[in-house]
Structure 1
């Protein structure tokens, strides 16, 4: 039963109960700029289709989008290429680490899905190849969805990723060797790292993805962001692959399409209701925020939000 009467109080209570979990995770340190983020922070926001937003904690604090940015890039690429995109990237769960090189070699440069790193780099190639200024186009798209003109990419995080992105470069060059990357690899990587470094808050993130809960239509503006079919497809991919190697467990326990990022955020789509975004930097061994997983799981259970 989706009740919103005292949702703010519920969110505050869930965050308070999650405090002991801060020490159970570890802030991402393979990107040095992320290692500097203070771990004792948490936030949650719920945006509903009727335009309301409920939040608790540091819900207006910016964090790095990281892999959650893959959703926006994917929608942009689907709008540009339509079904042609799926000849270059598949839609199956990977069963391997999100940055696996071995799997990409086995499958001749075609990524398993667009939300593992290889797939998202392939999507970045589509954007670089189809927009004259792809980084600006990405930010413009996000600003349109949030209604916030000040969305930007954190330059410190961006430069840190550029300097330490050797494994992603390896994925890109391997795909290039199979003919599945069209643009120049450095340009593709610059776009990919730039979109991952985009800074956003929980409230902005929850609001930005309402179109996926509303069959492709952004309810606040009534603008068609993507087709109903593509909204279905994105949600399906998030359900099977959005939470790294915990995607099956998350579907089993929570039952919502979701995407996590190593910046500490998780976003979950509740069709015909709204979007939940939670953030806390410490991650579990799978790369998912310990606190955000707990908060979203408990919220979904208390409100009866599971699709199943």
Structure 2
């Protein structure tokens, strides 16, 4: 494993990224684009982009690294970050920290757990976190929305995929059912529709692989000149990304790649080599668990080539 504070050799990284892009270009199995969200199903599944931002501030890109895509569930990482910054350990009274063992949009386990989602990276967990974020409005010293947080982290304007937003705003019946079930157990403070709007909005945020890698820099080691509290927050979020970040494929991803990561059905994956690099990949073809097929392969090969697995 690359150690914290060890300088990444940029020429080696550039060579590794170039090699990964070349390998992705000859793979014939791309997976299937998400077909349940308008705006995602028609995207060519053989497209691929990757960006790596090192702890030293260098950026290395390959493929379609500047092509924007809806980040979908990757937004849950940033929502959780805002909630932890604002409320600390109070977050864990309303959402758990365990892998679900069920699909990300399953309602079954939520009933068994009496409205307490198993973790913040499945849909009901992110909905409860969105409910918490509505209570940040009285705090003037922090970002209030995921979009504001991302714009601040990246240093660029952050857009919305309007087609994805409109489709999910007018449908999303399963998500509303989970929100109502949470509310029936007293785990939603605001009205369901008031919670669903920011939740859908954050999922429709459009970033490129390069912007995604920039957004994840604070998870490398807590940010620029981090405090102990910022380092702890990064460690907490990374631990959940490692155990819960890839839907029902989290164990397989940890086995193959060995990096904390969060995927989205838009085809993106944010991966973190702690203390070393933040990585954004995008390819819209998904595997059976809803994770980017080429993105996972690329991260597996990059982590092996650079020695970045957290397991050594």
Q: Which TM class, normalised by the smaller chain length?
A: over 0.9
Q: Distance in 1 between matches of 2:281 and 2:49?
A: 6
Cα deviations by residue, 1:191-241 (Å, 9 ceiling, x for unpaired): 101000001011111011111111x22x3xx47696222211101100100
Q: CA deviation at 1:135?
A: 10
Deviations 1:29-54 (A, max 9, x none): 10112113232311011000111000
Counterpart of 2:161 (choices 154, 166, 190) is 154
- Aligned counterpart, 2:112: 106
Instruction: State the Cα deviation string for residues 101-127 of structure 1 (Å, max 9, x = none).
Output: 000000000000001111001001111
> 1:1-308 maps to which residues of 2 (within 5 A)?
3-21=9-27, 23-131=29-137, 137-148=145-156, 150-214=157-221, 216-217=222-223, 219=224, 222=225, 227-308=230-311
Q: What is the rounded CA distance, in whole Å, between the counterparts of 1:71 and 1:169 in structure 2? A: 21
Give the superposition deviation at 1:160: 0.9
**Deviation string for 1:121-174 (max 9, x for gaps)?**
1001111232279997322211110011x2122221111111231111111000
Q: For residues 306 and 34 of structure 1, do their structure 2 counterparts lie closer, same or farther at Cα, with a shift above 3 Å needed?
A: same
User: 1 CA distance for matches of 2:178 and 2:300?
Assistant: 33
CA distance in 2, matches of 1:231, 1:10: 26
> 3-state DSSP class of the match of 1:284?
coil
**CA separation in 2, counterparts of 1:3 and 1:300?**
14
SS in 1 for 2:40: helix
Equivalent pair of 1:109/1:175 in contact (CA under 8 Å): yes
Deviation, 1:8, is: 2.4
State the alpha-carbon separation in 1 of the partners of residues 112 and 67 from structure 2: 41
**SS, match of residue 39 in structure 2:** helix
Contact 1:256 1:307 in 2 (8 A): yes
Query: Partners of 2:228 and 2:207 in 1: how far apart?
Result: 19
Instruction: Answer whether contact 1:75 1:226 (CA < 8 A) is retained.
Output: no
Which sections of structure 1, spanning at least 5 residues, go unmatched? none
Contact preservation (8 Å) 2:82, 2:143: no
TM-score if structure 1 supplies the norm length? 0.93
CA 1:137/1:22 → structure 2, altered by over 3 Å: closer, same or farther?
Answer: farther
| 1:135–1:195 CA contact under 8 A, matched in 2 | no
**Are 1:62 and 1:201, in contact at CA under 8 Å, matched by a contact in 2?**
yes
CA shift, 1:28, in A, is 0.4
| Aligned partner of residue 92 in structure 1, secondary structure | coil
Whole-angstrom CA distance in 2 between matches of 1:78 and 1:161: 26
CA contact (8 A) 1:135 1:191 kept: no
Structure 2 residue ranges without an equivalent (≥5): 3-7
RMSD: 1.9
Count of residues in Structure 1 that have an aligned counterpart in Structure 2: 303
